[in-house]
Amino acid sequence: MNQTAFEILRSTSLPGLLEQEIERFILDGEVAPGGHLNEKEIAFRFGISRGPVREALRSLESSGLIEQVPNRGFFVRRLSAAEASDVYDVRTVLFGLAGKVLAERATDDDIARLRRFVGDMDEAIGADDHARYISLNFVLHEFIVVQSGNEVLAQQYLTLVKQLRLHRAHSLMHGDAIHASNLEHHRMVDAIAARDPAQAFKAHANHVETAKGRLMAATNPLA
């Protein structure tokens, strides 16, 4: 039963479980940026008291998804364009590092899977399946970062990606942009397959940098 599974997890770490649930809630947009998180309501929703809820909220605060205002509670963080730009800059070098490290240690199987991902994404583009492309895109990036084997890197990177979802136009791409994006993916995988760390760093960093460019252009057409 799901009930028992819940009970088992519950006994290990209730705040940890809560953190995941609240995070999902935020990332799914069920509470908009700037929105207030009512402790009592959250506690009631999960049938527990406010103690564990506050602990979970503190964790989410540290990962930059929510902010605390003294005596007023926790609010979903609002990410300005300037802040999103800063996040992108950090993400750029982290992803570059992931590519570099992966070029040094990728197995043949890793490379085969990377090629498969990018191939599937080409197919999704051909079939005009936008949702599938977005989904595969996320999986590809996560795969690269996780397979790099550097947990610090992976954790930092994923935190930043989550933060970016708090920004208004966090992933509006269409037509040409998607096509160009997957061309960059090909270059990334080629560099890894060639076991060329320096080139892999460039290709991966460049990919995020151009993504930032697309985002900023969409946000502020004047700049």
Partner DNA sequence: AGATTGCTTATTGTCAACAATTTATTGCAA
Partner DNA sequence: TTGCAATAAATTGTTGACAATAAGCAATCT
d(CA 94, CA 160): 10
Q: How far is the CB of 46 from DNA (least distance, A)?
A: 8
d(CA 142, CA 155): 10
Q: How far is the CB of 64 from a second copy (least distance, A)?
A: 8
Binding flag, residue 10, DNA (CB under 7 A):
yes
Residue 111 makes CB contacts below 8 A (sequence gap 6+) with 189, 192, 193
CA 211, chain centre distance (Å): 14
Structure tokens at 45: 């929703």
Structure tokens at 194: 């060639």
Structure tokens at 114: 């990377």
The one-letter amino acid code at 114 reads L
Question: Which partner from the list DNA, a second copy, none does 89 bind, CB cut-off 5 to 8 Å by kind?
Answer: a second copy
For the window 56-85, what string marks contact with a second copy as x by the rule CB under 8 A?
Answer: x-xx-xxxx---x-x------------x--
Binding flag, residue 22, DNA (CB under 7 A):
no
Nearer to a second copy, 125 or 216 (CB): 216
Q: How far is the CB of 26 from DNA (least distance, A)?
A: 15
The residue to which tokens 């998607």 are assigned = 178
For the window 102-121, what string marks contact with a second copy as x by the rule CB under 8 A?
Answer: --------------------
Binding flag, residue 99, a second copy (CB under 8 A):
no
Q: How far is the CB of 139 from a second copy (least distance, A)?
A: 22
Binding flag, residue 94, a second copy (CB under 8 A):
yes
Nearer to DNA, 72 or 174 (CB): 72
d(CA 171, CA 214): 10
Query: What angle is formed at CA 201 by the lines to CA 196 and CA 202, rounded to 5 degrees?
Result: 100
Structure tokens at 132: 């599938």
Pick from 71, 82, 109, 152 the residue near DNA by CB under 7 A: 71
d(CA 204, CA 93): 9
The answer to whether the beta carbons of residues 92 and 208 sit under 8 Å apart is: yes
Binding flag, residue 45, DNA (CB under 7 A):
no
Question: Which residues ranging from 168 to 207 are in contact with a second copy (CB under 8 A)?
Answer: none
Q: How far is the CB of 210 from a second copy (least distance, A)?
A: 17
Residues found near a second copy in the complex (CB under 8 A): 11-13, 15, 51, 54-56, 58-59, 61-64, 68, 70, 83, 86-87, 89-90, 92-94, 96-97, 101, 150-153, 156, 160
